[in-house]
Amino acid sequence: MLKNIGLTPLKRLNKSNIYLKLEGYNPSGSIKDRTISNMIINISEQKLRDKPTVIVSSGSAGVSLYHVYNNYNLMKENDSIVVLPLKYSNKTIPQYLLNKPDVKIFYSFESLLFSQNNDNKGFKILLINDIFINILKKAKIVSKLNQWNILDQHYNKHCVEAHKQTADEIVTQLPNVTDVVCSTGTGGTAAGLIKFLPQRVKVHARPTKSGEIEGLTDVGRYNNFCDTSSIEDYYDSYFEYEKGYLFKEKIKNEFIVGVSTGVSLCLAENLCKDNKRNIVVISANGITNPKLSKQFR
């Protein structure tokens, strides 16, 4: 599985100067495979054997961890744990995990710790009734006390380094690329592209108001590796759910994408008014419509 991460296709949108980097062709179906796998391979084998690996996620990163867990035998020697807000449990991506027969579900850190003391190893989901930011803080405290391997997407430098490969692929696939548009959740994708793309290539994104688009936010609130001043005009406006939804519906006969890609495409379309640009849009879980093309499946 690890060898199959990346090398995702780049497909042109109609006859425009916009190209979609379709990250849905990663093994677990999202760009999170790049960052999750890179964090894991930078943990020592001894630590992976001795201590659980835990991540706080709203969905896709947890699915990625599940796929790595099931394809990397070393990880099965200890627990892998996804901590999710309870209110997300009815959403499509978390439901994918919760319905897996080999997944064990818990509702408190205490019950989870009890299961570990009884040596019941496996892939576990912990559902906590609180907001994401509070859950993240609690998970960090518990992980530190128990010396767990926490995959901290918001501050782990390997999330940024993972996108050297993404940047290299973009330049290889579209040598005359001028701009890349992405959305920001943890900020790892934007920070990695800024670091590894040629200086002539500009990286664009916009913040999202909390709770409006699943997985997206104003990354500036984290004060982490993503310097918003390095993103072109980051605070000029906000990504808006309605516009993103309408755009994803408009292209559904050609591409199957989420609202996060839809808002990025709206921004790319505005940039494309300058026809000298060649723009790549990072589609975090997008694919070509299977009715039209199966060549990348």
Residue 292 binned pLDDT confidence (cut-offs 50, 70, 90): low
Residue 297, pLDDT score:
34
Residue 72 vs residues 48, 49, 69, 135: alpha-carbon distances, Å: 11, 12, 5, 27
Structural contact between residues 162 and 192, judged by C-beta atoms closer than 8 angstroms: yes
Q: Which CATH number fits domain 2-30+157-288: 3.40.50.9100, 3.40.50.1100, 3.30.420.40, 1.20.120.1200?
A: 3.40.50.1100
Task: Tell me what the mean pLDDT of segment 45-74 comes to.
Answer: 93
Domain boundaries of the chain, sorted by first residue? 2-30+157-288, 52-147
Task: Tell me what the mean pLDDT of segment 44-49 comes to.
Answer: 93
Residue 294, pLDDT score:
44
Q: Which two tokens stand for residue 131?
A: 């907001």
Residue-by-residue DSSP string for 144-207 = HHHT-EE--TTT-HHHHHTHHHHHHHHHHH-TT--EEE---SSSHHHHHHHHHS-TTSEEE---
Q: Which residues are CB-contacts of 58 (< 8 A; sequence separation ≥ 6)?
A: 84, 85, 88, 94, 132, 214, 215
Residue 157, pLDDT score:
96
- pTM for the full predicted model: 0.93
Give pLDDT tens digits for 136-147. Answer: 999 999 999 999
Give pLDDT tens digits for 160-214. Answer: 999 999 999 999 999 999 999 999 999 999 999 999 999 999 999 999 998 899 8
Report the chain's mean pLDDT, rounded to a whole number: 93
pLDDT, greater one: 66 or 1: 66
Residue 59 binned pLDDT confidence (cut-offs 50, 70, 90): confident
